Amino acid sequence: MQIFPCPFCGPRDETEFHFGGDAGNIRPDGADVPIDRWADYLYLRTNPKGTAREIWVHMNCGEFFVMERDTVSHKVLSSAALGGEHAA
Amino acid sequence: MTASRLATGGSAIDRTRPIRFSFDGATVHGFAGDTIASALLAGDVAVVGRSFKYHRPRGIWGAGVEEPNALIDIGGPRATPNTRATTEPARDGLVARSVNATPSALADRNAFLDRFARFIPAAFYYKTFMWPDWHRFEPRIRAMAGLGKVDADWTSPGTADQINHHCDVLVVGAGPAGLAAARLASGAGLTVTLVDDQQSPGGSLGHRAGEIDGKPAAAWIAETIAALASAGQLILPSTTAFGVYDHNLVGLNQRHPDGRPDTLWRVRPRQIVLATGAIERPLPFANNDLPGIMSADAALAYLRRHAVLVGRRIVVATNNDSAYETAGALAEAGAEVTLVDLRRDGTPNAPANVRLVKRRALASASGRLRVDGVTLDDGTRLDTDCLLISGGWTPTIHLFGQAKGKLAWSEERAAFLPGDPVDGIAVVGAAAGAVALSDVFAGAGTVVASLGQTKAALPRSTGPEATGGILPAWPIPGSKGRIWIDYQNDVTVKDVELAARENFVSVEHLKRYTTLGMATDQGKTSNLPGLALMAGITGRTVPEVGTTTYRPPFTPVPLASFAGARVGELMAPVRRLPLENVHRANGAVFQEYGGWLRPAHYGGSADAERSIADETLRARQSVALFDGSTLGKVEVIGPQAAAFVDFLYYNTMSTLKPGRCRYGFMLSENGVVFDDGVLVRLDEHRFVVSCSSSHVAAVHARLEEWRQDRFGRGAVYIHNATSDMATLTVSGPNARKLLEALDLSLSLDDADLPHMAVGHGTYAGDEVRIARVSFTGDRSYEISIRADRAEPLWTRLRQAGQAFDAVVIGLEALMILRAEKGFIVIGKDTDGTTLPHDLGVDGPRAKRQTEFVGRRSLFTEEASRDNRMQLVGLAVPQGEAPLPTGAHGIKRIDGRLRSQGFVTSSYQSPTLGRPVALGLIERGAARHGETIDIQHLGKISKATITAPCAVDPAGDRLHA
Ligand SMILES: [Zn+2]
């Protein structure tokens, strides 16, 4: 079982986390967003081999954060709080 | 008698503590410290089990976890099937029986199967029972299949402990390599955990000659353990490291002599040191599976640990040096020993009193229930009562392999050794291919030094040193006779050849086609010979064939260990109401609803239907009290709170005035209705999200996600106050009158507190929040009070209610009341495709100009389809019973039935005296008045599509 670093709590067991999707999957706003763009946002996932940037949530404290990890070696490379990086 | 207990010796046994147990109904005598296997051997029990497929008689092969043959079931209240006799401690009074044998291993009535062996080769089942139908054969084959049996007398020993543990260094294996590594690491000031699967430490030093630092091995072991213990290090005997998982988590299975359930340890060491030793391999020759044929090293272990001499006229066959010590020790113990060595050159000298035959291999063994002779490859026949085999050593690199460590083939050792290092995992000793003690210690020293510590002196081997010379002896294609590769699963050389002929040449295919290595022993003795044979057949090298994937567990682990405390009610704990005990005392019958344990109805469990109908009717007639504490109460606070709820809700919420409530939907980004409920605006910057009871956690997580991702921490704060407060609901025509009987310190006048408004008062000094929100269609007040003060208020409400014939209702009555009104329950009256306009709420979709979750998905082709399923009411012809929930509305297209939706909620309405139902029906909103066919379990009935609301469509009762 993996150890993930919650930016708020520190290193914790992976069973306490939920996956929250690809990081950088920016939501396109508006009722007139091209439908292909919207479909990509909803359903298209990069599924990289190697380094991946992902959103995770630590269920215990509620922190959503960006984690970089290697999908082959399962090494965790970094984690950082969202901190409203996409704030409107 | 052939095998016997010697009068003296045996380092593991305590002759002052004799024990007795039964095996296949016969009494077996032993001593404390015996394993079941050593006691059976001491009693000269040769046949201890039957093979999986052919029911061949089988004897004890090994002395440890690698044992493929001696599987036994332990009976009684602590029954365990398929344990290994070689690792199971013998205990007084224990009841053991052989597996796959009826009535006993010695006299198995299915032994005849072996005579049909050539008709049932590998894959026989796949090929034979296909026609006409596998299921015709399955029951009888199933009855024959499997090994041990679960005992009906089994009782749970309680919950298994699970322990999380951290240390600097975890050393797996307390043989010479592990002891040395642990001692060096401890000396360097590191925290060390040392685990070993045997009852006492020492590993091979427990039965092989060794002199360390000028002391006998036993003294050095004792001294090392004492040093570790005094340094406060954790030493776990009878504990197997069974798996290495992501980020080097190690799973340990700890067994307890007192019968407690096994403990599961989850260890997170900074460094893993694998000192797991090596396992001796069999040699290939005809009938190499007969009882009385065993591992040479195991025979030495039984001799030195348990004082058991395994035979009188012993033949030892080997291709390496390790069997020489065994042969010498057996001769010294009084046996007549012939040592047959495959090699011509480089062999050690014959030990004293041992007859050495060089350059000869075994061709075959003979005997029926026990080996009685062997024939060499030059035709020489030797009589024997015990045949010992050393076919070389397979390093135990399973844990390294599980950690995705790559293996490297060593021609010199004829074995796979650990290849490129894996972060945080080091392999030492025989597992790394070391043979001489001096090499073992040097390797341990290098590993500990690499942790950046210590220049401590290594232990020094001062006695004779083992040597590693070996001439590989793999199974040869086309060999005569039946040569076993996998004892437990009855895989022979011919089966591997068959697999190769049918092109199952990949090692993973070989495994699955022949079941090689798939038995409970996971091929610890058979995998390498099997793949070496495949290499020979296909003209490849062993590393070209490669190994199968190593997966946990290394040895079986009881499921109870993994379950730990998560059994029974703790498997999925229910959430409980603060007033649960009060409801119980009032005759509530509880059920689980969406994770909450709630009163289904009152009046005890007899005649539930009548109780529910009575509660429903009286709720409409006068006034009902209901515990709605499970209702979500998630507060949204902050300068951006209004913009936030606008974004989260389908409906515009920022226009809500403080002190008012509004019903709305939350959508998922794909437009589907995720939750519904009332939003309360307490003041300019403070809202309360009342979400569905079973959705609170999900809604809360969703609010947090958007807050952190889109709005920012300074803009909005979210607090889940659901369990802080109890919510008691008063509903019905007399609701206001009942509340007026209480002193709540607020005006209940409809001008001050109209429908969909919220007011603040106090009860007995505590603040109460009263929301006029209705899920019944009647005038309703939801009173929220801090949870620990709810009981007096509830009691007071019941007391005041007596004057109005108030009724306490459970969730079942509430479900009927809301269905009569056409109020939906998300997930029951909607599914994973339901969009808000399917429920008749099209306003925001048509008019909203601001952004909200799921918006774009409401304008797709799919969302605009004109034949979408829409929420409707369904009425049945007079006198008919309620429609079954889940029944389909059907129509005929080209003579074939097709679904056009389904019934989502259906009840007998006490208010109307007829059934009411809700459903999702294609184009339903435009088809009110139309009668359709409803099909359930092949029966067709009629229903008329109506508006969802069946009671008080004008909504007058909300204000009555
Ligand atoms: Zn956290």
Give domain status of residue B186, yes or no: yes
pLDDT tops 50 at residue A88: no
- Judge if B409 and B483 occupy the same domain: no
Residue B135 pLDDT: 75
CATH entry 3.40.50.300 includes domain A3-25+35-81: no
Residue B100 pLDDT: 83
Per-10-residue mean pLDDT, chain B, length 960: 89 96 96 97 94 91 95 87 93 92 84 77 70 73 74 84 97 98 94 96 93 95 97 97 96 91 96 97 97 98 97 97 96 97 92 96 96 96 97 96 95 94 95 95 92 78 86 93 94 94 93 90 92 95 92 93 92 94 96 95 92 97 96 96 98 97 97 97 97 91 93 92 96 97 95 97 97 97 97 97 97 98 97 97 96 97 96 96 97 92 98 97 97 95 97 93
In whole numbers, what is the pLDDT of chain A averaged over residues?
91
Q: Sort B445 into a burial class: Cβ within 10 Å, 0-12 / 13-18 / 19+.
A: buried
B701 lies within 8 A of chain A by CB? yes
- Judge if B243 and B296 occupy the same domain: no
Nearest chain B residue to A33 by CA distance is B856
Q: How does DSSP classify residue B432?
A: G
CA dihedral defined by B822, B823, B825, B830, rounded to 10 degrees? Answer: 50
CATH classification of the domain holding B440 = 3.50.50.60
Q: How far apart are the first and last CA of chain A?
A: 37
Q: Are strands B313-318 and B386-390 parallel, antiparallel or unpaired?
A: parallel
Nearest chain B residue to A85 by CA distance is B709
Closest to B272 measured CA to CA, from B479, B61, B447: B447
pLDDT tops 70 at residue A83: no
- Judge if B827 and B952 occupy the same domain: yes
CATH classification of the domain holding B668 = 3.30.70.1400
B544 lies within 8 A of chain A by CB? no
- Judge if B226 and B292 occupy the same domain: no
- Judge if B219 and B231 occupy the same domain: yes
Predicted-complex ipTM score: 0.94
Partner-chain residue, chosen from B245, B701, B856, that has the shortest CB–CB distance to A38: B856
Distance CA B217, CA B205 (A): 6
CATH classification of the domain holding B519 = 1.10.10.1100
pTM of the model: 0.89
Distance B592 CA to ligand 1 centre (A): 30
Give domain status of residue B751, yes or no: no
pLDDT tops 60 at residue A84: no
Partner-chain residue, chosen from B709, B715, B856, that has the shortest CB–CB distance to A64: B709
Q: Do A38 and B857 touch (CB under 8 A)?
A: yes
- Judge if B701 and B838 occupy the same domain: no
Give domain status of residue B790, yes or no: no
Residue B454 pLDDT: 61
Q: Do A57 and B704 touch (CB under 8 A)?
A: yes
Residue B130 pLDDT: 67
Distance CA B424, CA B307 (A): 40
Phi and psi at B920, nearest 5°, equal: -110, 115
Q: Do A88 and B247 touch (CB under 8 A)?
A: no
Q: Where are the domains of chain A?
A: 3-25+35-81
Provide residues of A within 8 Å CB-CB of chain B.
1-3, 14, 18, 20, 27-31, 33, 35, 38, 41-42, 55, 57, 59, 62-64, 74, 81-88
Residue B114 pLDDT: 82
The tokens for B315 are: 């033949």
Q: Which contiguous run of DSSP H or E holds residue B95?
A: strand B95-98
The tokens for B710 are: 């889109």
The tokens for B599 are: 């009163």
B723 lies within 8 A of chain A by CB? no
Q: Do A2 and B704 touch (CB under 8 A)?
A: no
Give domain status of residue B735, yes or no: no
Chain position carrying tokens 């970089």: A68
Residue B111 pLDDT: 82
Domain membership of residue B184 as a residue range: 163-279+395-449
Distance CA B433, CA B297 (A): 17
Q: How confident is the model at residue A86 (pLDDT cuts 50, 70, 90)?
A: very low
Our count of domains for chain B comes to 5
- Judge if B411 and B490 occupy the same domain: no
Report the pLDDT averaged over residues A3-18: 95
Q: Do A29 and B851 touch (CB under 8 A)?
A: yes
Give domain status of residue B565, yes or no: no
- Judge if B895 and B908 occupy the same domain: yes
Q: What angle do CA B735, B738, B741 make, to 5 degrees?
A: 150
| Spatial CB neighbours of B176, under 8 Å, sequence gap ≥ 6 | B203, B204, B205, B210, B212, B217, B429, B437, B440, B441, B459
